[in-house]
Amino acid sequence: MDAVDRRTLLRVAGLSTGAGIAATALPAPAAAAPAPVFAHGVASGDPLPGGILLWTRVTPEPGATPGSGAGPVVPVTWQVAADPAFAAVVAAGEVAAGPDRDHTVKVDVAGLLPGTTYWYRFGCRGQWSATGRTMTAPAAEAAVSRLRAGVVSCSNWEAGHFAAYRHLAARDDLHLVVHLGDYLYEYGTGDFDAGGRTVRRVEPPHEVLTLADYRVRHALYKTDPDLQALHAAVPWVITWDDHEVANDQWSGGAENHTPATEGDFGARLAAARQAYAEWMPVRLGPDGAIYRRFRFGRLAELSMLDLRSYRSQQTSGVAVDDPDRTITGAAQLGWLQDGLVASAARWKLVGNPDMISRVDVATLPAWLLGPLGRLLGIPANGYAVNTDQWDGYTADRDSLVGVLRRNRVRDVVFLTGDIHTSWANELVTRGSATPSAAEFVVPSVTSDNIDDFLGTPAGGPLSLLAAGVVRAANPHVRWTELDGHGYGVLDLTPDRCRMDWYHLADRTRRDSTARWVAGFSVAAGSSRLRPEAAPAARRG
């Protein structure tokens, strides 16, 4: 996993016997057809030591549009090569794509070498797709000296362009992207945009409810050129949060679902999950479970959580301490705890869609509680909890922290999205001021945050004051910035885990620049955070 970049061609010598498959083993498609067959790009995900999941969507004829249910079943070829010119094809095959899966294609390729860069493409109706670049994970016991990942969350189409994805795609030092949920939003046009300004309109224009609706919304997102570029650049490891279905979803419903006018929630959930399974480069379990784990040699293990499918309904007040309430579900919590205790990897990373660190708000002023409450789910009566995050499910958090402490599990780092803002936290509970883990929260790609809700300039005095007030009330919050949109870059070595935050100049512009705003790290064996200067190669 060291010093891998898209300019490096792998040596053909020493490849597995699959290297004997020549690029000519499959006939090359003819000259380009008049209409694009591959309008939604290519993607890879869920890297394993010997395999990778590949994805694309084909439009075999003009009428076979996403969500239409129209169009024929067509054969789609795929190739994986050791070089971008496909001179050494190491795996190849053919699959059928039809309207039953909205003409999406997912190929789970096995038999590849661990810790290796590959290139892939698809062919159909006389066209090749764009070429994607991907990487397999290192062998479980490999001595990996570095792992670097882009970390993103909350990409709202109507609130701006995905310049954050463009900046990540332009880097040549990433091994993967971790997406922590809210990959898309379910709202109708104008319902949630850029502080009241619709930068670009969604399709369908109404709130998505049916399978066809969700398919069309997924397809729209995958027409974004910067999203396509980042999917094609590196493998993604993803999970969902609430907006892939509906706002503030829980196991039996959602805040943004009204059965009387929008029908049965179970039917809506099934439609959303089917479209997600079709359109995303992700392996789901036999029961549709998305929580899963990835190993990157002896350096890191990444546990991706699902904090929507099994949770109890949101509540407030003393009810948040009810031991029968859960954000993870019993099975997932046990799986997480057992995995963290048993892990032999140096860094135990947790892909965590909703913030686990406490946010004590009882002393915060009313002017801040309004917009902060909209982000954090704080009820209007001012209870000192964040009921949509782990603060609303304290029994699960206490159980997890207790397991970490009793078993002396160290080097746990939560990677978090959801709240559209940037935070560097030390995970403490009211029972102890000694941190049990670190938490890095990345900002939204485009979704509204504090300055948007307040109607003030980004980085203005009011936002700076708000960040200071939050930190004063929460000493375990080592840093927070409440206005920026952008992304994080996680950099792991055996000695330390570091997150750098980059913010966009203007989320509403596709050509927006990005700048480094902060860096924090935690040393191996410690859960105390320390600030870092800008990476030397990227200063300015």
pLDDT at 205: 98
pLDDT at 206: 98
pLDDT in tens, 372-422: 666 655 443 334 447 899 999 999 999 999 999 999 999 999 999 999 999
Question: How far apart, in whole angstroms, are the C-alpha atoms of residue 327 and residue 335?
Answer: 14
The answer on pLDDT for 367 being more than 90 is no
Question: How far apart, in whole angstroms, are the C-alpha atoms of residue 265 and residue 395?
Answer: 27
Q: Would you say 172 and 235 are in contact if contact means Cβ atoms under 8 Å apart?
A: no
Residue 87: CB atoms within 10 Å: 12
pLDDT in tens, 55-88: 999 999 999 999 999 999 999 999 999 999 999 9
pLDDT at 363: 52
pLDDT at 305: 98
Q: Would you say 417 and 181 are in contact if contact means Cβ atoms under 8 Å apart?
A: yes
Q: Is 261 helix (H, G, I), strand (E, B) or coil?
A: helix
Element (H, E) at 239: none
DSSP characters for 429-484?
ETTEEEEEEEEEE---SS---HHHHHT--TT-HHHHHHHHHHHHH-TTEEEEESS-
Confidence band for 13, pLDDT divided at 50, 70 and 90: very low
Sorted by sequence, the CB contacts under 8 Å of residue 394 that are 6+ apart come out as: 320, 321
Residue 168 CB burial class (10 angstroms; 0-12, 13-18, ≥19): buried
Confidence band for 371, pLDDT divided at 50, 70 and 90: low
DSSP type of residue 187: P
Q: Is 520 helix (H, G, I), strand (E, B) or coil?
A: strand
Categorise residue 355: left if φ over 0, alpha if ψ from -120 to 50, beta otherwise. beta
What radius of gyration, in Å, describes the C-alpha atoms of the chain?
23
pLDDT at 368: 54
Handedness of CA 406, 348, 429, 377 (dihedral sign): negative
Q: Which of 14, 235, 255, 35 shows the shortest CA–CA distance to 119?
A: 235
> Average of pLDDT values for 322-335?
97
Residue 313 CB burial class (10 angstroms; 0-12, 13-18, ≥19): middle
Angle, alpha carbons 33-34-35 (nearest 5°): 95
Angle, alpha carbons 311-313-315 (nearest 5°): 125
Question: How far apart, in whole angstroms, are the C-alpha atoms of residue 229 and residue 528?
Answer: 36
pLDDT at 525: 95
| Domains of the chain as residue ranges with CATH | 17-135 (2.60.40.380), 149-538 (3.60.21.70)
Task: Enter the pTM of the model.
Answer: 0.91
Look at 374 and 349; give whichever has higher pLDDT: 349
Question: How far apart, in whole angstroms, are the C-alpha atoms of residue 141 and residue 199?
Answer: 47
The answer on pLDDT for 360 being more than 90 is no
> Average of pLDDT values for 512-527?
97
Question: What whole-number percentage of the chain has pLDDT above 90?
Answer: 79
Q: How far is CA 460 from CA 251, 291, 457, 485, in A?
A: 39, 39, 5, 15
pLDDT at 33: 42
Query: Which parts of 215-271 are beta strand (E)?
Result: 236-238, 249-250, 253-254
Instruction: State the chain's mean pLDDT as an integer.
Output: 90
Q: Would you say 192 and 156 are in contact if contact means Cβ atoms under 8 Å apart?
A: yes
